């Protein structure tokens, strides 16, 4: 049809294409203007719903913290800067941190010893009985050898075996140990001195006395005396960490004491300095309730409610009108009952709560504009006087607030229904516009067909007109 439109008027000399374009444009505008406007408004509304859901989600997260027991058990940990002898500490011999649910407490702690792993030290010289010089003069093992590494004893023992072929260099032995299947954390390394001897170090990564390592088999290839066993080459025995907490000695196979002291984790860094009498100096630590953290959590909920209310007010602001015509200057959810009702419902949870008298006593206030706040000083004073009663009151408030929020936030709830309905309406507008496109196309085709006939008819009449004009001129000339 486009080719037909492009040739319209060529026979009659009339600009019929412009006429059709104008008529089609007018027809399309008449059909689409209203629906296009409604579609744009619905897109704005859907955007507004997303904004509202985001604001509700942010507030919901703050309410959830009121329900979390960890929100009411934060503590702060402090350590003195001097030990029990009054010596200024350049570094702390231990670290201490509080676990979730830790209670206040005082701890005098000293580190008696840190956890260590087994370390072997040996020397492989040119005259070693297990080695010989190859054709290039390098030390190589003189026979096939086997080493067995064992960690621990009894049923908990772990082992792995290393096979070394004859003719292996010291470096080959090192690699065979490090790459052995089942290696449970043994590493072998050496330093070769100016005398050509290999100073071998074999270390375990497992600390604790129960993780002592032994080596059996052809240990001569490690520079060890087979008649004395590998224990004779131990530079450092595996040992437990030991600390003293408030007069009680406790041990751990690592430097971390995670279960022995309730509510806290203690990590040994280094042995504590010793007093003149040989005992270990203690460093005092305290765990105290962090009232400021609890205050921040509770205050954040009220601030969140204020922010959500402000968001609802902004989104739900109605359009203003001039001479009866909307200025479209309202919020994305202008006039929505949800933005009007939600703040009322949530604020009523506080105002109608059985705990309201106590909440007011604990420092909750409401301003004339409907916003809530928390008097930190009054709240913390109440915490110190009745910690359990205060925290239980706000947990209950959180439960009631959460129940009200769920009517909006749950799957298939008020917000979901509102959003799905809006998207469905938007889809219907888009389908109507697609249908209008078909109608406009049919209208254009109809006009093209009619104006094509007109073009031919005018062209024919133009031909008749030219013929008559020519005849009249001929008659006039013959009469003269």
Beta strands in 306-451 (DSSP E): 321-322, 325-326, 364-366, 372-374
Pick from 257, 238, 242, 124: nearest CA to 185: 238
Number of Cα atoms under 13 Å in the Cβ half of residue 418: 21
- Number of Cβ atoms within 10 Å of the Cβ of 460: 12
Q: What is the pLDDT of residue 100?
A: 72
Percent of the chain at pLDDT > 90 equals 57
Which residues are registered as beta bridge partners of 95? 267
Say which residues have a Cβ less than 8 Å from residue 329's Cβ, sequence separation at least 6. 319, 320
Q: What is the pLDDT of residue 471?
A: 62
Q: What is the pLDDT of residue 141?
A: 95
Q: What is the pLDDT of residue 107?
A: 94
Q: Which two tokens stand for residue 445?
A: 């085709």
Q: What is the pLDDT of residues 170-190, one digit of tens each?
A: 999 999 999 999 999 999 999
Distance CA 294, CA 381 (A): 12
| Regions of the chain short of the pLDDT cut 50 | 1, 3-5
Q: What is the pLDDT of residue 31?
A: 67
Q: Which two tokens stand for residue 452?
A: 């094509």
Q: What is the pLDDT of residues 89-147, one digit of tens each?
A: 788 999 999 887 778 889 999 999 999 999 999 999 988 989 998 888 889 999 999 99
Distance CA 240, CA 207 (A): 7
> Tokens 């009108």 belong to which residue?
321
């Amino acid at each position: 049809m486009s080719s037909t439109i492009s040739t319209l008027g060529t026979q009659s000399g009339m600009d019929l294409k412009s006429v059709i374009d104008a008529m089609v444009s007018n027809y399309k505008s008449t059909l689409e203007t209203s629906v296009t406007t409604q579609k744009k408004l619905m897109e704005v509304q859907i955007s507004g719903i997303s904004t509202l859901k985001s604001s509700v989600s942010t507030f919901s997260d703050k309410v959830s913290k009121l329900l979390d027991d960890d929100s009411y058990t934060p503590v702060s940990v402090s350590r003195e800067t001097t030990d029990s002898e009054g010596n200024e500490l350049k570094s702390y011999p231990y670290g201490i941190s509080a676990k979730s649910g830790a209670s206040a407490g005082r701890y005098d702690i000293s580190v008696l010893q840190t956890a260590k792993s087994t370390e072997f030290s040996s020397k492989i010289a040119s005259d070693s009985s297990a080695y010989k010089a190859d054709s290039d003069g390098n030390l190589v093992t003189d026979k096939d050898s086997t080493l067995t590494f064992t960690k621990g004893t009894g049923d908990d023992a772990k082992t792995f075996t290393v096979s070394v072929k004859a003719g292996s260099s010291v470096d080959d032995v090192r690699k065979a140990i490090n790459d052995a299947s089942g290696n449970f954390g043994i590493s072998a390394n050496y330093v070769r001195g100016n005398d050509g001897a290999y100073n071998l170090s074999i270390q375990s990564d497992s600390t604790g006395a129960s993780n002592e390592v032994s080596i059996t088999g052809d240990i001569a290839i490690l520079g060890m005396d087979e008649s004395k066993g590998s224990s004779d080459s131990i530079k450092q025995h595996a040992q437990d960490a030991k600390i003293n907490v408030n007069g009680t000695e406790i041990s751990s196979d690592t430097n971390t004491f995670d279960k022995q002291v309730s509510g806290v984790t203690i990590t040994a860094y280094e042995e504590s300095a010793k007093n003149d009498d040989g005992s270990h100096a203690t460093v005092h630590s305290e765990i105290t309730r962090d009232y400021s953290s609890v205050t921040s959590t509770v205050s954040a909920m009220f601030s969140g409610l204020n922010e959500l209310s402000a968001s609802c007010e902004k989104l739900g602001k109605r359009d203003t009108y001039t001479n009866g015509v909307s200025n479209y200057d309202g919020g994305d959810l202008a006039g929505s009952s949800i933005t009007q009702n939600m703040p009322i419902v949530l604020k009523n949870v506080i105002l109608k709560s059985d705990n309201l008298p106590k909440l007011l006593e604990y420092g909750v206030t409401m301003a004339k504009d409907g916003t809530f706040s928390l008097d930190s000083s009054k709240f913390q004073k109440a915490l110190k006087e009745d910690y359990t009663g205060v925290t239980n009151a706000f947990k209950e408030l959180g439960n009631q607030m959460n129940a009200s929020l769920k009517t909006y936030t749950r799957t298939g709830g008020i917000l979901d229904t509102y959003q799905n309905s809006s998207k469905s309406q938007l889809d219907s507008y888009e389908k109507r516009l697609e249908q209008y496109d078909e109608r406009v196309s049919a209208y254009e085709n109809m006009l093209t067909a009619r104006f094509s006939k007109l073009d031919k008819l005018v062209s024919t009449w133009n031909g008749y007109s030219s013929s008559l004009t020519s005849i009249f001129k001929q008659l006039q000339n013959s009469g003269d």
